[in-house]
């Protein structure tokens, strides 16, 4: 069975601080996908990134960066120089790869509420 753990329930930072959101996953699959989604107060889930299990390169997109460590089954997300608009709930998720019969079902973590204050 797949499992995603986001141990940080809520994080509060002051604007311009860097913040890292942790994500640890469990799966027996050798091929899988990892995702991060942002859910602002409006409720819509916004896709941030998809990472294939065979690609351990870290990725940077503007102020966002992701650190994928297969050895520790972690896929952490860092926001540099946080802004008030970053305030949201962030979900880490895991799915099986295509053609494995899992149909791309996502297993979500419980989410981390990030509050960025002035």
* Cα–Cα distance, 7 to 92 (Å, whole number): 11
Stretch touching other proteins by CB under 8 A, among 11-19, 20-28, 68-76, 91-99: 91-99
109 binds other proteins (CB under 8 A): yes
* Cα–Cα distance, 82 to 35 (Å, whole number): 20
Half-sphere exposure of 112 (CA within 13 A, CB side): 25
Distances (CA, A) of 22 to 68, 99, 100: 11, 29, 27
Residue from 42, 57, 61, 71 touching other proteins (CB under 8 A): that is: 42
Residue from 18, 54, 110, 117 touching other proteins (CB under 8 A): that is: 110
Residue from 54, 98, 115, 117 touching other proteins (CB under 8 A): that is: 98
Using CB under 8 A as the criterion, which residues of the chain lie in contact with other proteins when the complex forms?
33, 35, 37, 42-47, 50, 91, 95, 97-98, 103-106, 108-111, 113
């Amino acid at each position: 069975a797949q499992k995603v753990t986001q141990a940080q329930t809520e994080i509060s930072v002051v604007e311009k601080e860097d913040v890292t959101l942790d994500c640890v996953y469990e799966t027996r699959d050798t091929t899988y996908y990892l995702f991060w989604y942002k859910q602002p107060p409006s409720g819509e889930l916004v896709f941030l990134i998809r990472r294939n299990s065979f690609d351990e390169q870290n990725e940077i997109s503007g102020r966002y960066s992701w650190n994928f460590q297969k050895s520790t089954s972690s896929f952490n997300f860092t926001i540099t120089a946080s802004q008030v608009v970053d305030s949201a709930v962030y979900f880490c998720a895991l799915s099986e790869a295509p053609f494995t019969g899992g149909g791309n079902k996502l297993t979500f973590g419980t989410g981390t509420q990030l509050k960025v204050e002035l």
